[in-house]
Structure 1
Amino acid sequence: MPLVGATLDVALERELTRGAAASHHFNAAGSALPTAAVVSAVVTHLRLEERIGGYEAAAQVKESVEAVYGSAAAVLGCDAEEIALFDSASTGLRVILDAFRPAPGSRIIASRSTYVSHALHLMTLQKEQDVQLVLAPTDAQRRVDLEALEALLADGRPTILTIAHIPTSSGLVEPVHEIGGLARRYGAAYVLDATQSVGHLDIDVARIGCHVLVTTGRKFLRAPRGTALAFVQRDCAAMLPPSAPDVRGSQWVGASSWDVTTTARRFETWEAGIAGRLGLGVALEEANSRGIAQTARWLTSTGELVRESLRDIPGVTIADPEGSASAIVTFLIDGVESARVSTALADRGVRVVSVPATHGQWDLGDRSIASVVRASPHVYNDGADIVELLEGVADIARKEARP
């Protein structure tokens, strides 16, 4: 199957990605296939640690680790001092949100697209600290309703606004630029969960207007698991002392006093997987070299191709809200549980996942959908991969769907 509008060298991406030949991998939204260069960076450093020890190995690669901040800044359109590194996006969101110290009676407005881990943290704040948690109203496409959001913000109450750019449960894309305009107009603190969009869409934090952006390494950035990064706008970071200061970003200067760095590193911890961070650095450089805007065009057009092709298969229903424009595609097969679809496709060497409502109750649960099948291509997927996916889905729909 030809990829309409393909402007990337998919054959080269497959050559650089050893796993591309091992299966038809459509799980970039879970954990994408890394390149051989990313894996080599991780393994090489682990071997160095094996020979000389972890501290000594870290000292030898200090400049390379420092370069990761600049590479991340280049992807997001910010300064290196506004970047913090974490072990996961969930950790980054929790640490930074806690630094806001939402007081009893304060308000957090969250999108229905919020991921389970972040939602659980928000509900805990609501329950234990008497923080008001409001779900942002949605429009007919299940995106944040901008007029309704403005009506909420217009009351002038101090508000933390937390939005998932693309959810785990569908291909929906929130109107993050317009939300940024409202946050600026009404003085809301704007936190963006971009775990499914960095490396996928063209991101510029200045244009979006967010104060905080958090993302993971393992998804569309194609970095190792256990890596993540955050942007914290310079002035915002200076106003948020970490709730649990660490020696990484703080200096103990007296018996009961300490100084905290003014950069986003104030949110980091000393202990980290150096090998993983080196792999993250390589993945960021590869994303920059491939071209962020070019990659975004390829991914969204390929996602649309997959979505429309699945729509044509009898018995298949697309679960994405109307107008979804991303490389994440969710669907259902009539009468077949999503987990069964995922397993049956895996038997054919096609890698997708089943996303249960427990990962997105404010989205899937609100729509009374128990689970969806999620397929998410990346730049190493060629036309043959897509054919295998479509033929596998059609075969399951034909053989296993209940009348």
Structure 2
Amino acid sequence: MNPPPTADAATASASAPFVGGSAIDVGAERARTAGSTLTSHFNAAGAALPTHAVVAAVVDHLRLEEQKGGYEAAAERRADLDAVYASAAQLVGADTPEIALFDSASTGLRILLDALRPAAGQRIIASSSTYVSHALHLMSLARERGIDLVIAPYDAHRRVDVPALEALLSDGVPSIVTVAHVPTSSGLVEPAAQIGEVVQRYGGTYILDATQSVGHLAVDVREIGCDVLVTTGRKFLRAPRGTGFAYVRDTLLERLLPIAPDVRGAHWTSSADWELVPSARRYETWEGPLAARLGLGVALEEAAARGIPETEEWLVETGARLRTALAEIDGVTVADPAGSHSALVTFVIDGVAAADAVVQLARRGVRVVSVPATHGQWDLGDRGVPSVVRASAHVYNDDSDIAALVDGVAAIATGILR
């Protein structure tokens, strides 16, 4: 490794041009993002900074509720609330009736998996990149219902080993395959479309946790071949917390029956019967954060206007630049599996706990997070890595942010900040 970079060296590295250029106007993104000028925020994979317009949409609706009442405000904004479904569908290549809104990806995953009613004799195959909340649900189902829970085989780069998965599915056991497109614990990107082709060929049900890929990478449910996709609003979509949505393939609706129907998605037709609405809204509940959903709608429109291919190119290249700069610092090891192509960058600093590094960087105005093995035992735990520092960029991060992060990590690694 080379000596730790100085501030000038880090800035020079950060100023290197993007391969192929960039269609993202970082200056404009910063101008409409208040928090971008206050700190160097590298936590898009946790909760990205929203734009002025997203915040205004939320506040304006709360003011309307203040003036007219919650039901009345909802009625007045009904067309705008309905438009959120169309915007979400367009972003992921779905049809509007295939979209349901939730307060989080974890809620969506739980409701939709329960709707499948997995039972003894069936098998759940989960990627090693599965997030803790979903993993806990899967383990509970396996323990309580006698379902066989299998960790999907993975290759040398920890991606799902597609040929090995095909061999596993070929035994004919009814299977639900659930995969985290991009995990919380590294910059890995699973081969989602290849997995989809194999799962569909063998008649399985494919659930994609796209929590950290929608708004970050190009995601098209038809090309991927998933039956269910779930994502959140607060991460790369830059929407408010408490928002998320799911796609459910229309041909699956009659098999995915909500375990607890709600007045939002069902009509009580007689003393002992009810009818479900003919769309994915059957999985929703009546009450919801309507102001936040209007903010989600603005964020979805902004993501589409910025361009997902352009955003993906910019974010993936920024992740590559960060990995290169961090790998040049003595005492720093990039923890992402080889070939990771995303904006998530994980690393460890010799002799420094990840949580301590996060605190030290925060004192320098750099916002990152630590991810402990308890959030990914099938990944970090399996690798014997107790925790990592995770930096995740977005389109509002400029060269000065990258320099601040690299300089801060170098200072910690050389003991300046200890």
Interval containing the TM-score (normalised by the shorter chain)? over 0.9
| Higher alpha-carbon deviation: 191-200 or 393-402 | 393-402
Q: 1:302 pairs with 292, 312, 318, which one?
A: 318
Aligned pairs, number: 402
Give, in angstroms, the shift of residue 261 of structure 1: 1.1
Would you say the 8 A contact 1:315–1:401 is kept in 2?
no
Tell me which residue corresponds to 1:283.
299
What is the DSSP-based 3-state SS (H/G/I as helix, E as strand, rest coil) of the residue aligned with 2:109? helix
Q: Secondary structure at the match of 1:288?
A: helix
CA distance in 1, matches of 2:96, 2:398: 35
Residue 272 of structure 1 aligns to a residue in which SS? coil
1:158-307 matches, cutoff 5 A: 158-307=174-323
What is the identity, as a one-letter code, of the residue corresponding to 2:245? L
Cα deviation digits, residues 271-306 of structure 1 (max 9, x gap): 000000000000000000000111011100111011
**TM-score normalised by the chain length of structure 1:** 0.99
- Secondary structure of the equivalent of 1:238? coil
In structure 1, distance between residues paired with 2:230 and 2:94? 13
- Runs of 4+ in structure 1 displaced over 3 angstroms? none
Please provide the CA RMSD for this pair: 1.0
Q: Secondary structure at the match of 2:110?
A: helix
Moved more, 51-60 or 316-325: 51-60
* 1:199 partner SS: coil
User: Aligned residue for 1:71?
Assistant: 87
Corresponding position: 1:110 with 2:107: no
**Identity, % of aligned pairs?**
63
Is the 8 Å Cα contact of residues 238 and 263 (structure 1) preserved in structure 2? no
Q: Is the 8 A contact 1:334 1:401 kept in 2?
A: no
Aligned match for 2:30, one of 6, 10, 14: 14
- Asked whether the equivalents of residues 216 and 227 of structure 1 are also in contact (C-alpha less than 8 Å), the reply is yes
- Using the alignment, how far apart are the partners of 1:177 and 1:239 within structure 2? 23
- Aligned equivalents of 2:117 and 2:368: distance in 1? 39
Unaligned runs of 5+ in 2: 1-13
SS, match of residue 100 in structure 2: strand
> In 2 relative to 1, CA 74–202 (structure 1 residues): closer, same or farther, beyond 3 Å?
same
Deviation at 1:238, TM superposition (A): 2.4
Q: Describe the superposition over 1:207-226 as per-residue Cα deviations: whole angstroms up to 9, x where unpaired.
A: 00000000000000000000
TM-score, normalised via structure 2 length: 0.95
Q: Which residue of 1 aligns with 2:377?
A: 361
Q: CA deviation at 1:105?
A: 2.3
2:3 maps to none
- Name the counterpart of 1:399: 415
What is the CA–CA distance in structure 2 between the aligned matches of 1:287 and 1:182, rounded to whole Å? Answer: 30
Q: Distance in 2 between matches of 1:186 and 1:219?
A: 33
Deviation at 1:401, TM superposition (A): 9.0
Give the whole-Å Cα distance in 1 for the aligned partners of 2:385 and 2:256.
39
How far apart, in 1, do the equivalents of 2:22 and 2:95 lie?
32
CA distance in 1, matches of 2:81, 2:174: 37
State the 1:339 CA deviation: 0.4
Alignment of structure 1 residues 79-94 onto 2, 5 Å: 79-94=95-110
Match of 2:339 in 1: 323
Q: Which runs of 5+ in 1 are unaligned?
A: none
After superposition, the C-alpha distances for 1:169-212 in whole angstroms (9 at most, x for unaligned) are 00000010100010111011000000000000000000000000
